[in-house]
Structure 1
Amino acid sequence: MPMNVRLLVLLLLWPWTALAQGFAGLGTEADGFAVPERGHSPAFPTDHGPHPEFRIEWWYLTATLTGADGRDYGLQWTLFRSALKPGEAPGWNSPQLWMGHAAVTTPDSHLFAERLSRGGIGQAGAVAAPFRAWIDEWEMAGDMGGDMVLRAGGSDFAYHLTMRAKGPLVLHGEGGYSVKSAAGQASYYYSQPFLQVTGNLTLPEGEMSVTGQAWIDREWSSQPLAEDQSGWDWFSLVLDDGSRVMAFRLRGSSDFTSGTWIGADGQATALPDGSIQAEPLASAPSGAGPEVPVRWRLAIPARGLDVTVEALNPQAWMGTSFAYWEGPVRVSGSHAGRGYLEMTGYGAE
């Protein structure tokens, strides 16, 4: 099918009505889809694969890298699955829709690309063992507890990385059951935050070899937000002492916070609502998108963390089919380090 016709078909099939509400559309009713249940924990390798009975799911990788030129680089790879109705069916009868995002961010540029696909025809999907997630030629594959590869690209960039896990998978919340609101909305959520990376970027100015750290997030749900929540601010930080921090703030009539403190040995401690302080300090234009906070104070008093988190490049706006800000950050203050920040829902507020 010609690309322009295929894209038109996909646009007509995608559940844009919910997405037009911004990320607040994720707070609509579950409509017969499965919902996460407290007391159930992810099982591996089974849960590396898809969950078609749930409405939405993602395989999400971010990486903070250093080039052979000494500069900082950030990299994103995401595969989203969204369902028109629960379950799977063969061929074009599949109700599963797939979307991929890839990006590379430097101190002075932000390059991104998007892919869309209907499920059931082999163009996109995921399998648990051996693990593989793909859309077209974009692919993340391997062993989340061992070696992995990642490749993707757009019209003006490409990357090919080799990754090796140096720590365990981490379950967030209550054994992987991650609460998102006072009303009890939740997702299943785990991460692989201990990936060491080597590889190559292809950029408009040429090839660049890179090394660094990567972080994979896996999450699935059917109603991850409450009805009054418009979006989130999500941090994944790798600190110089080897600790990791996942923290998020969900914005609504009253903000809801949650996160996980991850020791250098992989020991995870849940951070309940109210234990995280996330305060925007400065905003800036985001490129083609709205003005967004690009410098934050993030504090976790119980852990002695009080840091400033600042965007490497404020203009890291993902001008994709549903738009958001995603980019690498630098950490300073009580701790030093690097990480990633994702901010959603600002264009809808």
Structure 2
Amino acid sequence: MNARVWLVVLILLQPIASWAQGYAGLGGSADGFDVPKRDYQFEFPRDHGPHPTYRIEWWYLTANLTGEDGRDYGIQWTLFRSALKPSEADGWQSPQLWMGHAAVTTPETHYFAERLSRGGIGQAGVAADPFEAWIDEWYMRGPDLNTVSLSASGAEFAYDLDLTAQGPLVFHGDAGYSVKSADGQASYYYSQPFFEVEGVLNLPDGDVAVTGHGWLDREWSSQPLASDQTGWDWFSLSFDDGDKLMAFRLRGGRGDFTAATWISPDGTTTPLPNGSASFTPLNTTRVAGRDVPTEWHVTLPDRGLDVEVSAMTPDAWMATQFEYWEGPVTVKGSHTGRGYLEMTGY
């Protein structure tokens, strides 16, 4: 690789290298960037688009699917934006950098792929109206965020899916202001957890028609973690009775910080503050040279929730520029259902 190519690689990876501090640099200084404040007035479709004066942002979609073959599958499609400085510019002067992750998880195997891009040159970006998020040939797009088509591919997989929202957007924390630490770090955070999904997975053994349910998370901030927080365990669970749960545990030197949102079938939300939920690892799996919890006991006494959450495919490791675990899970106990689990910092 010649010196010019190495320079481009270093430019592209600069924010990823900084993200290694406090997992993904999310506990680093927000100097010069905007920071979330309470009582933000969300406006759509504007806020489906990018917020370049904030340091970090993502469009994060996961889906639990069932194939015409009767087997369960999971997919991930994620576009991350990271800013070198709080502004936007055309061409190579743009300080915005983009990273895409895509994955398909089968009961036996986890396939994943990654894309990197500099902003300002048309290779990656997000437009709010009509909605389109893309990096290279990967895309999530539609007339708005209620009806979108989704496409991605890697060396051993591809998928083309159509998603239609069957419920409203939901806002986490205090009307979308999601606190992440006792020190008050926060993000803006809303979700569309009511997507119905249908389409086709292209896998080494052939094409599989699938249907299921998807969950989109939208989040942006400039310093969402405290400096001592090293990673998180994040759950999005859809129960067979129609209720849903978003819950997370942030691990830090001063102890865990937790939060949750209970989502009723009609989209009514109940925010649950730090300490409301408990997360206890039951079993670990040796993945990529580390021990990763792949079975959990999750309780939420305020809602009578007492469940075991188990990975469908324990080695669903994303060996990307910054590594993490991401995959579909099953739920049994007081509630039954399916969902997704993300774990970072292990």
| Common fold: TM-score over 0.5 | yes
Return the TM-score normalized by structure 1.
Answer: 0.95
Amino acid paired to 2:9: L
Does structure 2 conserve the Cα–Cα contact (< 8 Å) formed by 1:24 and 1:227? Answer: no
Q: Which residue in 1 is equivalent to 2:58?
A: 58
Residue number in structure 2 paired with 1:198 = 198
Q: Give 3-state SS (helix, strand or coil) of 2:25's partner.
A: helix
Deviations 1:70-93 (A, max 9, x none): 111010000000000001011000
Question: 1:222 maps to which residue?
Answer: 222
Q: Partners of 2:84 and 2:248 in 1: how far apart?
A: 28
Letter of the aligned partner of 2:29 in structure 1? Answer: E
Q: Tell me the equivalent position of 2:177.
A: 177
Q: What is the CA distance between 1:290 and its match in structure 2? A: 1.9
Quick check: 1:41–1:176 contact (8 Å CA) kept in 2? Answer: no
SS at match of 1:167: coil
Task: Tell me the CA shift for residue 8 of structure 1.
Answer: 5.6
Unaligned runs of 5+ in 2: none
Return the offset for 1:10. Answer: 3.3
Contact 1:193 1:215 in 2 (8 A): yes
CA distance in 1, matches of 2:72, 2:116: 29
Displacement, 1:12?
Answer: 3.4
- Ranges in structure 1 where 5+ consecutive residues have no aligned partner: none
Trace 1:21-100 onto structure 2 (pairs within 5 A): 21=21, 23=23, 25-100=25-100
- The residue aligned with 1:147 is 147
What CA deviation, in whole Å up to 9, does each residue of 1:30-87 have, x standing for no partner? Answer: 0210000011142211000000000000000000000111111010000000000001
CA displacement at 1:142 relative to structure 2: 1.6
Match of 1:11 in 2: 10
**What residue number does 2:276 align with?**
275
What is the distance in 2 between the residues matched to 1:309 and 1:284?
14
Q: Percent of aligned positions with the same letter in both sequences?
A: 65
Task: Find the counterpart in structure 2 of residue 311 from structure 1.
Answer: 311
**Matched residues in 2 for 1:152 and 1:82: separation?**
21
Structure 1 residue 7: Cα displacement: 7.4
Q: Spell out, residue by residue over 1:181-229, the C-alpha distance to the aligned partner (whole angstroms, 9 max, x if none).
A: 0100000000000000000000111110000000000000000000110
SS of the aligned residue for 1:251 comes to strand
How far 1:328 sits from its partner (Å)?
0.2
Q: Paired residue for 1:263?
A: 264
TM (norm. structure 2) is: 0.96
Deviations along 1:120-153, one digit per CA (max 9) or x if unpaired, are 0000000111111000000001255532110000
Q: 1:4: Cα distance to partner?
A: 11
How many residues get paired?
344
Aligned to 2:327: 327
SS at 2:265's partner residue?
Answer: coil
Following superposition, the deviation at residue 16 of structure 1 comes to 3.8
Give the match for residue 164 of structure 2: 164
Rate the CA distance shift 1:193–1:104 in 2: closer, same or farther, 3 A.
same
Indicate how the Cα distance of structure 1 residues 243 and 5 shifts in structure 2: closer, same or farther if over 3 A, else same: farther
CA contact (8 A) 2:16 2:24 kept: no
Cross-structure match for 2:239: 239
State how far apart, in whole Å, the 1-side matches of 2:4 and 2:115 are. 14
Structure 1 6/171 Cα, relative in aligned 2: closer, same or farther at 3 Å? farther
* Pairwise CA distance, 1:25: 1.9
The answer to whether 1:211 aligns with 2:211 is: yes
CA pair 125-97 structure 1, distance change in 2 beyond 3 A:
same
The 3 A distance-change label for structure 1 pair 17 and 114 is: closer
Instruction: Name the stretch that deviates more: 86-95 or 15-24.
Output: 15-24
CA distance in 2, matches of 1:139, 1:276: 35
Change (3 A) 1:6 1:96: farther
Secondary structure of residue in 1 paired with 2:11 = helix
- Structure 2 letter corresponding to 1:277: S
Q: Could you tell me how far 1:24 is from its partner in structure 2? A: 5.8
- CA change 1:143–1:267 in 2 (3 A) is farther
State how far apart, in whole Å, the 2-side matches of 1:38 and 1:77 are.
29
1:221/1:289 CA distance change after superposition, 3 Å: farther
**Structure 1 pair 4/294, CA: closer, same or farther in 2 (3 Å)?**
farther
* Structure 1 contact 41–177 (Cα < 8 Å) conserved: no
Please tell me whether the aligned partners of residues 249 and 278 of structure 1 are also in contact (alpha carbons under 8 angstroms).
yes
Deviations 1:223-278 (A, max 9, x none): 00001100100000010001110000000121000010000111011011111111
